[in-house]
């Protein structure tokens, strides 16, 4: 190496070290603001987070999350995201159209990692935001926030390629302290998967101690793994092998016992961003916020908004616009359509479905929308996660009749 090149390299490394030292000397909130602002517009690997940054936000987020109850008690107005599955661009789009946590309250239903290409970026940004805005960012656990699932479906491999295995273990330590469910305004029950025959009153969840690994069966497993099924009346063993399917009767009983109105969940693909699995009953809704689950079909990413008066709506994220919220206008002056569908609280069918265009649509988006299939009921064929999940063999389950809460 030439002497000039060596001097230049030393100068560059000195500048980098100086900037890192300056970052560490910042007030914690100033440092978080710098990391978040960089991540929101960054096109770099890891959204600009260094390994030192990642260790810091994981450690800080773990401390904040561990201080919360396993059952969160939240108040509207609030916006809700379903599964993200490593789709960092969809997360940025949601913030772009729904508002940043500096002014907007957000609840995330889990499954931040696996399948998509940028799981690390998703969790790093969310952990940084949880540290910065602990009263406006709330993170629930999904079934993929576990050592077992994330070692199979891509997150462990992504960590090995971009970071190292030790960092994957650090992320999993944070996953083990994530809250398991939330109740909004004593009316809406929010969870990743669903209800359980072991769950009578939601207060049971608040008594679950964390950190905890996801058991092979039982209440915690069902909260993160179970599914609604229109062909089931009450509870039946699931084809997944480790949990249950639950029907309309079970949902109604759970809501009645707990004086709730609506179950809000993720866990399953909703091709149009959201669906009501027991239509025409609107007492359960599935929200999905990842557009990249199937290369062969258009999957609409969506977030849900609950207003202060408990009216709720769904915002479908645009298909054809850049996710990064640059201050400049959309490329070529194109504008984006966001469809909002508003309803009263669950159980009321008096308010008709409403669609409101925020702006005029771009040509490509208009073509995409025309090609989509019409709205349909959630069925076994279109509700399953896109990759078949491995059966959990040799799991010793209590008979279902013994598990049902009376």
Quote the pTM value.
0.78
Q: Are 21 and 50 in contact (CB under 8 A)?
A: no
Q: What is the pLDDT of residues 134-178, one digit of tens each?
A: 999 999 999 999 999 999 999 999 999 999 999 999 999 999 999
pLDDT for residue 294: 60
- Please give the average per-residue pLDDT across 343-368, as a whole number: 34
Q: What is the pLDDT of residues 34-59, one digit of tens each?
A: 999 999 999 888 999 999 999 999 99
In this structure, how many other beta carbons lie within 10 angstroms of the beta carbon of residue 387?
A: 13
Report the alpha-carbon distance of residue 308 to residue 185 in Å, rounded: 9
Q: Is 201 a known active-site residue? A: no
pLDDT for residue 293: 60
Domain 26-403 architecture: 4-Layer Sandwich (3.60)
In this predicted model, which residue has the larger pLDDT, 400 or 316? Answer: 316
Please give the distance of CA 262 from its chain centroid, rounded to a whole number.
18
Annotated catalytic residue within 144, 192, 267, 282: 144
Radius of gyration of the chain (CA): 22
pLDDT for residue 338: 35
Q: Are 198 and 405 in contact (CB under 8 A)?
A: yes
Domain map of the chain by residue range?
A: 26-403
pLDDT for residue 91: 97
pLDDT for residue 18: 54
pLDDT for residue 209: 98
- Please give the average per-residue pLDDT across 251-267, as a whole number: 98
Residue 105's pLDDT band, with cuts at 50, 70 and 90, is: very high
Kindly tell me if the per-residue pLDDT of 404 is higher than 60: no
In the chain, % helix, strand, coil (3-state, to 5) comes to 35, 15, 50
Q: Are 92 and 323 in contact (CB under 8 A)?
A: yes
Kindly tell me if the per-residue pLDDT of 394 is higher than 70: no
% of the chain exceeding 90 in pLDDT:
67
Report the alpha-carbon distance of residue 399 to residue 392 in Å, rounded: 16
Q: Are 50 and 24 in contact (CB under 8 A)?
A: no
- Which H/E stretch holds residue 222? helix 219-225
Report the alpha-carbon distance of residue 371 to residue 282 in Å, rounded: 27
In this predicted model, which residue has the larger pLDDT, 125 or 399? Answer: 125
């Amino acid at each position: 190496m030439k002497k000039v090149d060596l001097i230049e390299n030393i100068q560059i490394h000195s500048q980098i070290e100086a900037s890192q030292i300056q970052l560490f000397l910042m007030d914690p909130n100033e440092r978080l603001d710098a990391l978040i602002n960089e991540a929101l517009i960054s096109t770099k690997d890891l959204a600009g987070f260094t390994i030192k940054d990642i260790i810091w936000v994981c450690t800080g987020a773990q401390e904040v999350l561990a201080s919360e109850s396993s059952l969160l008690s939240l108040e509207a107005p609030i916006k809700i995201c379903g599964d993200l599955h490593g789709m960092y661009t969809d997360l940025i789009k949601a913030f772009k159209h729904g508002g940043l946590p500096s002014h907007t309250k957000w609840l995330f239903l889990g499954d931040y990692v696996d399948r998509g290409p940028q799981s690390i970026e998703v969790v790093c940004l969310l952990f940084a935001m949880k540290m910065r805005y602990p009263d406006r960012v709330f993170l629930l656990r999904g079934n993929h926030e576990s050592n077992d699932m994330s070692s199979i479906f891509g997150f462990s491999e992504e960590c090995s390629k971009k970071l190292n295995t030790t960092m994957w273990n650090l992320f999993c330590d944070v996953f083990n302290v994530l809250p398991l469910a939330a109740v909004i305004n004593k009316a809406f029950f929010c969870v990743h998967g669903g209800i359980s025959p072991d769950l009578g009153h939601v207060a049971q969840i608040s008594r679950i101690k964390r950190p905890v690994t996801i058991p092979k069966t039982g209440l915690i497993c069902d909260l993160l793994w179970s599914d609604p099924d229109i062909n089931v009346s009450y509870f039946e063993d699931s084809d997944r092998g480790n949990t249950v399917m639950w029907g309309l009767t079970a949902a109604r009983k759970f809501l009645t016992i707990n004086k709730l109105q609506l179950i809000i969940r993720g866990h399953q693909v909703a091709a149009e961003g959201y669906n009501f699995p027991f239509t025409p009953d609107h007492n359960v809704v599935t929200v999905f916020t990842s557009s990249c689950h199937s290369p062969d079909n258009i999957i609409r990413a969506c977030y849900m908004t609950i207003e202060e008066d408990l009216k709720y709506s769904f915002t479908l994220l645009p298909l054809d616009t850049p996710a990064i919220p640059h201050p400049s206008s959309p490329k070529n002056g194109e504008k984006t359509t966001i469809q909002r569908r508003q309803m009263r609280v669950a159980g009321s069918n008096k308010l008709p479905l409403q669609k409101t265009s925020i702006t005029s649509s771009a040509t490509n988006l208009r073509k995409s929308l025309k090609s989509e299939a019409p709205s349909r009921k959630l069925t076994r064929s279109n509700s399953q996660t896109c990759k078949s999940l491995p059966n959990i063999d040799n799991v010793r389950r209590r008979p279902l009749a013994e598990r049902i809460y009376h």
